[in-house]
Chains A and B, each alone.
Chain A
């Protein structure tokens, strides 16, 4: 090969390399743009789905007539100290609290020392194999409250609490338990038609907006009561808080 032929060949090679580099750059630019577009669309979908769900819930929202505290709770008792209990019917520690401190609470109510505002919330919907037991049970409790049987139904739900990561109690079972405490057909219809399920979502939203994240959350006269290291308070701690609040 002559010198000029070699030069031509190497010049051609350089041009080829430059073309290849330009090609790679073009691919990088366009694929990156595609990535940005895909992520933007995904984000918009997320936003849209959320807005859709909120709109859906707002449309279906039926606030139980007897609910107090911005329509999120059911009051039991008429005592001067207000106790707010935020509970999920699927939450095992709520069950533990009910077993441990429930009797003391009942005494305080009948001695006219406290007004207990029960806030059923549904934060464990992902722990009942997709049947949303937390929401269904909270909605059923609302229906029971309307017929004046909140406490009875609340107690029977805890006595029959299903395990986490099971299907939870079926609607039929929820109705059957209602019948066992004297609830009738209007209650059964409300459970079957999920009348108060959107309300349960709203009550949970209010719970979260108030800065609470776990259940049970126990608030006595506006102050959260808990044991050391954010554990369940003992009955003694709880009654102490009530006595203090009563002054």
Chain B
């Protein structure tokens, strides 16, 4: 086989890598939102635990956030405007990381509420901020892949470029 085949094969791998990243990110946001959407009051309390905004604001943010996460998950799942959606996901993840860093820096003992409704930790449970940040950075990496290589398989984007 010639050199050309090798090159074309290598470029063909990216859409598959990106597809995995896209579906993975969709799962992350879908699960995160799904766990919170069943108890919006608890989600609002988790946001307030960061002590970054007044309670009434935190209640609204806590209620809106899971719906946004689920919507973003669905958009990534169907692959609509993948680069743009991944950009939003990256911004959201950076806000989450900033929130955790600020809680850590202020010595707050809270559950990040990333995959739960969060809240204060009581009874000797310690916050594992380092791990939580590392995990979010991992998710950020998935979004990064999509920002650089937004072409994926089984996406609405792909269908539209062929049709229109």
Contacts and interface: CB of A to CB of B under 8 A. Distances in A.
Interface of A: 23-24, 26-28, 31-32, 34-35, 38-39, 41-43, 45-47, 49-50, 53, 93, 96, 123, 125-126, 130, 201, 204-205, 208-209, 211-216, 229-232
Contacts, number: 114
Contact of A47 (B64, B75, B84): B64
Given A93-B122, A125-B42, A230-B109, A45 B160 contact: no
B120 A213 contact: yes
B22 interface: no
Interface string B58-78: 011001111110111011000
Contact of A214 (B38, B67, B120): B120
Nearest to A212: B120
A44 to B, nearest CB: 8
Contacts of B124: 229, 231-232
A214 B122 contact: yes
Interface of B: 38-42, 44-45, 48-49, 51, 55, 59-60, 63-68, 70-72, 74-75, 80-81, 83-85, 88, 109-110, 117, 119-124, 126, 156-157, 160-161, 164
Nearest to B69: A42
Contact of A208 (B55, B109, B161): B55
A28 B81 CA distance: 6
Contact of A213 (B39, B49, B67, B156): B49
Nearest to A38: B71
